[in-house]
């Protein structure tokens, strides 16, 4: 599902104002949060939840569960493939 | 000395501090589930000011500038507090200070692309001041959830500067599709009555209120004086409090500095019932050596009334100080914060001659005010 | 109080990007901010640099006082668009900027300013009020310096004017 991953990265770049970044700059396996990778914060996490809701009809309500899903682009892709509409 | 000479609370529980106080004293709360409120897809837990009650009370008063319900409620609340204080609201040495986070933001629903004068908070404040014939440009404080006590601090400083003898501090925020959906998007709301500092707390309840305090120089007023206040930023994150509570600790220390032996009876916490706020406050109180002091949060009684919260809560604390009790914090059961605080599910008698009020909010801002009982 | 440095510019999306580049800053968070925070942060950067103050030094004795007329109306309008009845996806990252004092926080975070931060609203630009509000911040005994500014991006005459004031000793 290269295309889903690419599309998701584009949506992340757009929603989080990651200026100057392209999908190829984001490694699908690298953690989105913390010091490595994109270094996203708690508001970014909430914005990722909006991306899933808006584009893939996925509603995340359990914050503890969200953490694993939002770990990386690839973990989000797996979840979308299993649960989303795309 | 800067004393409280008048006060009013207008909320879902009623109009007037005495009515509201007697109802919460009897254990009442107006918090409840609002399904399809503001045409929102998800229900929310809140207490709302009845719009027809505003119109009923306002009927017969002059409305020369077509005030919104929000503005009429401010006028009603301020008028009641001013009448109690006996001050002249039209005097040059009276200043109006408004605390609101979102004012008339509901007007955006009519689809405006650029805000007109009506939407600005300063224009609401002007309508308020001009209703009372006050000649001064009002001061508008917008410091997120701390605004209600930051407005009192601004009033205190304006009075201390010698230019003003009286200040009418009005705290006001109404809910809207805008405000509720915003907090929903932050996953900050509890789907049931909030439980400050409790192990199983799930977030906050938003609510509406308008409240007013008149502060006057050289008088003890109702017997409670504002001794000072301090505001500190924790410079950590725009929406999350510092885990070390650095800003709140600095604000509390600043307000208590130079007051050795000040006999605190209780502390009125922000206690929103969000995971991070309540934990941060417990760290702050513990570090300041205040964790054994009787503590209270009113959020599970009133909900979080945003720009009004600091004013509402100061009034309730002042009245309970005068009565010699500290309120229970409904919903607090098992402790859920790093350092257990002295909270209770029942009224407690207090000793001491003053209370501390603390708040924190988005934008890393923390504020503390100190009040003294004057017999 | 003594004026240590000041800087004014007309804030617009183009002007803030230009100023960011000219300052040679590397601060990725900048791109996530709303226009008012960007403008205020850059003006603060200029003023603090002129006064020889480093952003990475903790400043417990400095306050940030900002004033404007339209509050966060630019962001309010944008957020309102995300909650229409047809397409209801409220944006958390937009909502946080619908509190104007978040601009104070962005300056405080960047420059480790731990003193007071206050945001006031006023019908129009008033230098008198800026000095009055700075004076209120100085009434806190621990406050030595105030970063004080007017930051208005929406009216017909947008202006960002920042001053660094020091307490008279």
pLDDT digits (tens, 9 = 90+) for A5-26: 999 999 999 999 887 789 998 9
A37 touches C at CB < 8 Å: no
Same domain, B138 and B198: yes
Neighbors of chain A by Cβ distance (3+ pairs < 8 Å): B, C
Model pLDDT, residue A84: 84
**Cβ neighbours of residue C61 closer than 8 Å, sequence gap 6 or more:** C115, C142, C143, C144, C145
Supply B360's token pair. 């924190």
Residue C121 near chain B (CB below 8 Å):
yes
Q: Which residues contact B64 (CB under 8 A, 6 or more apart)?
A: none
**Domain of residue B131, residue span:** 2-217
* Predicted local confidence at residue C33, as pLDDT: 95
- Judged against a pLDDT cut of 90, whether residue C132 lies above it is answered with yes
Contact at CB, A47 and C96, closer than 8 angstroms: no
pLDDT, position B113: 66
Q: Among residues B157, B190, B217, which one ends one of the domains?
A: B217
Higher pLDDT among residues A25 and B115, named by residue:
A25
Which residue reads 């309730």 in tokens?
Answer: B316
CATH number of the domain where residue B14 is located: 3.40.47.10
Q: What average pLDDT does range C134-139 have in this prediction? A: 98
Task: Identify whether residues B228 and B202 lie together within a single domain.
Answer: no
Of A41 and C103, the one with more pLDDT: C103
Closest chain A CA to residue B183 = A46
- Which DSSP string corresponds to B97-153? EEE-SSTTGGGGGG--SS--GGG-HHHHHHHHHHHTT--SPPEEE--GGGHHHHHHH
Q: Tens of pLDDT along B204-229?
A: 999 999 999 999 999 999 999 999 99
Q: Identify whether residues B101 and B195 lie together within a single domain.
A: yes
Q: pLDDT tens digits, residue range B285-310? A: 999 999 999 999 999 999 999 999 99
Chain A 56-85, residues with CB within 8 Å of chain C CB atoms: none
Per the structure, the complete domain to which residue C53 belongs is given by: 2-166
CA distance B176 to chain A (A): 20
Report pLDDT for B144.
Answer: 98
Residues B284 and B367 in one domain: yes
The model's confidence at residue B118, banded by pLDDT at 50, 70 and 90, is: confident
- pLDDT grade for A37, boundaries at 50, 70 and 90: confident
Confidence of residue B332 (pLDDT cuts 50, 70, 90): very high
Looking at the structure of chain C, the number of domains it has is: 1
pLDDT level of residue B115 (50, 70, 90 thresholds)? low
Write out pLDDT tens, residues B24-50: 999 999 999 999 899 999 999 999 999
Q: Give the number of domains in chain B.
A: 2
Average pLDDT over residues B54-70: 93
Least confident of A36-40, B72-76, C71-75, C143-147: A36-40
What is the tens place of the pLDDT at every residue in C50-84?
999 999 999 999 999 999 999 999 999 999 999 99
Of C99, C129, C139, the CB nearest to B362: C99
**B341 plus B313 within the same structural domain:** yes
Asked whether residue B27 falls in the same domain as residue B138, the answer is: yes
Candidate from A19, A39, A50 with C-beta closest to C91: A50
pLDDT for A62 = 75
**Chain A residues within 8 A of C88 when measuring between CB atoms:** none
The distance of C99 to chain B (nearest Cα, Å) reads: 6
Query: For residue A3, what pLDDT is reported?
Result: 87
Mean pLDDT of chain B: 96
Q: Which two tokens stand for residue C26?
A: 């590397």
- What is the percent of chain B with per-residue pLDDT over 90, rounded to a whole number? 94
* Token representation of residue B33: 């589930």
pTM of the model as a whole: 0.96
User: Kind and range of the H or E element at B259?
Assistant: none
The CATH number linked to C158 is 3.40.47.10
Provide, as residue numbers in chain A, all residues whose Cβ is less than 8 Å from the Cβ of B237.
41-42
Strands (E), chain C: 2-9, 62-68, 117-121, 145-152, 159-166
| Residue numbers in C near A19 (CB within 8 A) | 31
Would the CB atoms of B237 and A41 count as touching at under 8 Å? Answer: yes
Boundary residue ending a domain (B182, B217, B252): B217
Do B47 and B192 sit in the same domain of this protein? yes
pLDDT confidence of residue A2: 60
Q: Tell whether A15 lies on the interface with C, counting CB pairs under 8 A.
A: yes
Judge if B121 and B266 occupy the same domain.
no
Which residue is it, tokens 């009623």? B14
Contacts of C113 in chain B (CB under 8 A): 233, 235
Contact C92 A50 (CB under 8 A): yes
Q: What is the C-alpha separation between C21 and C34, in angstroms, rounded?
A: 17
pLDDT tens per residue across span B316-326? 999 999 999 99
For the stretch B237-275, pLDDT in tens is 999 999 999 999 999 999 999 888 899 999 999 999 999
Please give the Cα distance from B280 to B286 (Å, whole number): 10
Strands (E), C10-75: 62-68
The mean pLDDT value for A57-83 works out to 90
Contact in structure between B263 and B372 (CB atoms under 8 Å): no
Please answer yes or no on whether C91 and B185 come within 8 Å at the CB atom. Answer: yes
Residue of C nearest to B149 (CA): C118
């Amino acid at each position: 599902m290269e295309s889903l991953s690419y599309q998701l990265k584009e949506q992340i770049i757009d929603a989080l104002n990651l200026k100057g970044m392209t999908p190829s700059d984001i490694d699908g396996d690298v953690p989105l949060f913390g010091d490595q990778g994109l270094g996203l914060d708690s508001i970014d996490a909430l914005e990722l939840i909006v991306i899933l809701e808006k584009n893939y009809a996925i509603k995340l309500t359990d914050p503890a569960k969200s953490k694993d899903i939002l770990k990386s682009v690839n973990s989000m892709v797996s979840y979308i493939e299993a649960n989303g509409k795309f | 000395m800067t004393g409280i000479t008048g006060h009013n609370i207008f909320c879902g529980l009623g109009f007037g501090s005495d009515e509201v106080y007697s109802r919460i004293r009897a254990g009442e709360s107006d918090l409840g589930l609002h399904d399809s409120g503001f045409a929102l897809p998800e229900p929310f837990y809140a207490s709302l000011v009845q719009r027809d009650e505003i119109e009923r009370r306002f009927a017969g008063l002059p409305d020369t500038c077509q005030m919104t319900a929000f503005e009429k409620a401010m006028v009603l609340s301020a008028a009641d507090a001013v009448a109690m204080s006996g001050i002249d609201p039209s005097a040059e040495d009276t200043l109006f200070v408004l605390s609101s986070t979102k004012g008339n933001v509901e007007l955006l629903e009519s689809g405006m692309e650029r805000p007109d004068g009506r939407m600005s908070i300063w224009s609401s404040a002007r309508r308020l001041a001009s209703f009372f014939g006050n000649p001064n440009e009002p001061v508008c404080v917008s410091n997120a959830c701390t605004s209600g006590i930051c407005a009192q601090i601004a009033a205190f400083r304006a009075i201390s500067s010698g230019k003003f003898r009286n200040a009418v501090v009005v705290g006001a925020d109404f809910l809207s599709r805008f405000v509720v959906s915003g907090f929903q998007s932050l996953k900050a709301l509890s789907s049931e009555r909030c439980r400050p500092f409790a192990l199983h707390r799930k977030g906050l309840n938003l609510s509406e209120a308008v409240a007013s305090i008149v502060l006057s120089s050289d008088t003890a007023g109702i017997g409670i004086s504002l001794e000072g206040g301090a505001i500190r930023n924790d410079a950590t994150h725009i929406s999350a409090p510092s885990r070390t509570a650095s800003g709140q600790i600095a604000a509390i220390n600043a307000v208590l500095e130079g007051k050795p032996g000040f006999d605190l009876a209780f502390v009125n916490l922000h206690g929103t019932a969000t995971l991070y706020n309540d934990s941060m406050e417990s760290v702050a109180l513990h570090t300041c050596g205040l964790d054994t002091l009787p503590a209270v949060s009113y959020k599970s009684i009133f909900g979080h009334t945003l720009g009004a919260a600091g004013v509402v809560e100061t009034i309730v604390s002042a009245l309970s100080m005068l009565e010699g009790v500290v309120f229970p914090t409904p919903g607090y059961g098992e402790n859920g914060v790093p350092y257990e605080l002295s909270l209770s599910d029942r009224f407690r008698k207090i000793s001491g001659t003053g209370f501390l009020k603390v708040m924190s909010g988005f934008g890393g801002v923390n504020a503390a005010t100190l009040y003294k009982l004057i017999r | 109080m003594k004026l240590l440095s000041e800087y004014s510019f007309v804030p617009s999306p183009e002007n803030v990007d230009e100023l960011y580049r000219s300052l040679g800053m590397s601060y990725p968070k900048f791109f996530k901010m709303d226009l008012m925070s960007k403008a205020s942060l850059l003006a603060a950067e200029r003023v603090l640099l002129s006064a020889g103050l480093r952003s990475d030094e903790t400043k417990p004795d400095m306050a940030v006082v900002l004033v404007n007329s339209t509050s966060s109306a630019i962001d309010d309008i944008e957020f309102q668009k995300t909650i229409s009845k047809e397409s209801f996806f409220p944006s958390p990252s937009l909502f946080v900027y619908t509190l104007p004092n978040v601009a104070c926080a962005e300056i405080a975070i960047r420059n480790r300013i731990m003193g007071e931060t206050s945001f006031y609203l006023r019908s129009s630009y008033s230098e008198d009020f800026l000095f009055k509000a700075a004076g209120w911040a100085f009434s806190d005994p621990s406050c030595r310096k105030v970063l004080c500014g007017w930051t208005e991006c929406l009216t017909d005459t947008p202006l960002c004017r920042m001053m660094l004031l020091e307490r008279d000793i």
